[in-house]
């Protein structure tokens, strides 16, 4: 009986990881990060991401500082497959990671998120992203302009 209950818990956790999570965060950059992540295909992230996704989303939505959000953005980028990103990303990545780890404000996080999205190949995102992207980008650019 115990084994059956353990299996049921594992199955429920796996199913929850596959469901899209609606972002209800206080900060628009957190919502934008979750929206971007939702549009990156499962094939474009490590298979281990499925088990990490739900707690990561919860952490993003609960993030109280730009610094924490920058670290969570970097965490997601680490789980993205290298083939999901433009070839130049291998050269840019060390500086981008350093910037994400020390992001001084939401404007910096927004700029870094825009940069990550621009480096992500179209093949790595769901087709619906083409329609969502302009509004997503416009919303982030307002914050990105802040210093």
Report pLDDT digits (tens) over 9-49.
544 444 444 444 444 447 999 999 999 999 999 999 999 99
Q: Is the pTM of this model over 0.75?
A: yes
pLDDT tens, residue by residue, 52-109: 999 999 999 999 999 999 999 999 999 999 999 999 999 999 999 999 999 999 999 9
Q: Where are the domains of the chain?
A: 2-144
Does pLDDT of 118 surpass 50? Answer: yes
pLDDT of residue 60: 97
Kindly indicate the confidence band of residue 138, based on its pLDDT and cuts at 50, 70 and 90. Answer: very high
Which tokens sit at 20? 């899209």
- As a whole-number percent, the residues of the chain with pLDDT over 90 amount to 78
pLDDT of residue 145: 86
């Amino acid at each position: 009986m115990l084994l059956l209950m353990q299996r049921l818990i594992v199955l429920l956790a796996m199913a929850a990881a596959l469901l899209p999570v609606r972002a209800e965060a206080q900060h628009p950059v957190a919502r934008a990060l979750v929206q971007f992540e939702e549009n990156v295909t499962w094939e474009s992230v490590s298979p281990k991401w499925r088990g990490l996704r739900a707690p990561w989303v919860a952490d993003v939505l609960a993030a109280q500082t730009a610094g924490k959000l920058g670290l969570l953005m970097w965490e997601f980028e680490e789980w993205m497959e290298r083939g999901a990103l433009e070839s130049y990303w291998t050269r840019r990545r060390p500086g981008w990671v350093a910037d994400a780890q020390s992001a001084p404000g939401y404007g910096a996080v927004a700029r870094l998120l825009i940069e990550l999205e621009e480096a992500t190949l179209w093949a790595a995102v769901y087709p619906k992203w083409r329609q969502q992207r302009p509004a997503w980008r416009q919303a982030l650019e307002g914050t990105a302009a802040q210093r």
